[in-house]
Amino acid sequence: MIRFFALFLLLSSAAFAQKKPDVLFIAVDDLNDWTTYLGGHPQTKTPNIDRLVARGMAFTNAHCAAPACNPSRAALMSGLRPWQTGVYTNNDPAQDVLKDVVTINRHFLANGYNTLGGGKIYHGYGSEGRTDSWTKWEGLFPTINDHDANKNGLDRGHFDWGAVTAKTEEMGDYKSTNWAIDQLKNAPADKPLFLALGYIKPHLPWYVPQEYYDRFPLADIKLPVTKELDLDDIPKMGVKMAGPEGDHAAVVKADQWKKAVQAYLATISFLDDQVGRLLDGLDQSPRKDKTIIVWWTDHGWNLGEKEHWRKFALWEETTRTSMAIIAPGVTKAGSTCAAPVDYMNMYPTVCELTGLPVPEHVKGASLMPLLKDPAAKWDGVAVCTHGKGNHAVRDANWRYIRYADGSEELYDHSKDPYEWTNLAGAVGMSDTKARLAAALPKEEVKATNAGKKKGEGKGKKKKAE
């Protein structure tokens, strides 16, 4: 009887493993729309990212829930928006508020998955390495440690770029790719696999080997498309977020703009090579035919548009992301979807794709209808939050921004893709603004860092992003 019961458990486990698909969950830090398939910059070279998204459904109007690493990742992984958790910025600690929340990785772990994580999934790198969160948390892979090298001469912390002498295989993302490939090939077959890999690049500093810089000769570099005096019709709070007197002024004064663009393109190219290695590893593994791939970048990035650098703003370049889902038997290769989606849609979607129940606290809409038919009816909009009271709403054609002081921006993307003309005060725009504003919260919790002494909970400067 005991032997029969043991055999029954073994067969049941094997059957469970066969029924449940594996999930390769890829997070990327600080990558905006500078991929070939999104067309964010004419000189970018991302053949491997392009072939990844071409395997299934690429969402071309996808946006983060917050334009900063910490709140974006906390929102996606928990299914809760910043105004529900108080995690609005990088300075708002997420660990305590999420300690009892059933996050994506905890949910898969509780439902029988072998959950393995490495690189950067949550902000803070190793902060989610607890035994209740993963089967095993690998953490951050060691890379070159020269964040304060000041290669570009700006002396602005890790807002830095330049070629390094390290070999490609010595870079952390190269090592994390090796680790992920090994898991795909050798993880036990008796359990379905949820493998989360968080790439660090193209996060600052843009330090990669010289070979990647050589792919983008400095003399040929094209700057982003910008408009002089673009901030003239922006409210004071928007101008404050742009901070033109900070990074942008320093870059222009030091004649570093083209060098910065070259560095970002080079770092993206390094990332793309690792993505290619990862895809080849998946294809050479026994899991290649039953693995769902979830690809997402945590937010966008500005390189001088609106005299702004980095993320930390509510315009298109800072909120738009690269996002795709490849689901065998559901998505068709080469599909694209232009519906406005955001990262609150991710949690319920991966649950539905894998047959797991959706936790009660997760209220976002599943993307399953769009995965099956990109032209399916979709009433959702994308909402992005940066600090309490500051929100952007994006639908198929419009971006509406409302700041905590009530000031507004409105852009018609059908005529103004670069968001150069703020129509918030124009005649006839009231109905459009009201329709989009309906997606904004009626109530917002205070920030988790609210009430703390200045500087408390902010961490070291080099990890502020």
Q: What is the 3-state secondary structure (H, E, C) of 326-356?
A: ECCCCCCCCEEECCCEEHHHHHHHHHHHHCC
Are the CB atoms for 359 and 370 separated by under 8 Å? Answer: no
Pairing type for strands 323-326 and 291-297 reads: antiparallel
Cα 50 from chain centroid (whole Å): 16
Nearest to 292 by CA among 173, 194, 189: 194
E-only strand ranges, 47-179: 57-59, 62-63, 114-119, 136-139, 161-164
**Distance of CA 131 to CAs 93, 117, 127, 213, Å?**
20, 12, 11, 40
The CA angle 361-28-455, to the nearest 5 degrees, is 75
> 346-354 and 69-78 helices cross at what angle (nearest 10)?
40
Cβ atoms within 10 Å, residue 131: 9
Query: How far is Cα 401 from Cα 392, in angstroms, rounded to an integer?
Result: 4
Phi-psi region of 451 (alpha: psi -120 to 50; beta: other; left: phi over 0): left
* String of DSSP letters for 266-312: HHHHHHHHHHHHHHHHHHTSTTTTSEEEEEEES---EESGGG-EES-
Are the CB atoms for 336 and 353 separated by under 8 Å? Answer: no
Query: How far is Cα 110 from Cα 132, in angstroms, rounded to an integer?
Result: 9
Are the CB atoms for 49 and 318 separated by under 8 Å? Answer: no
* Active-site residue set: 69, 123
* String of DSSP letters for 233-251: GS-HHHHHHH-IIIIIHHH
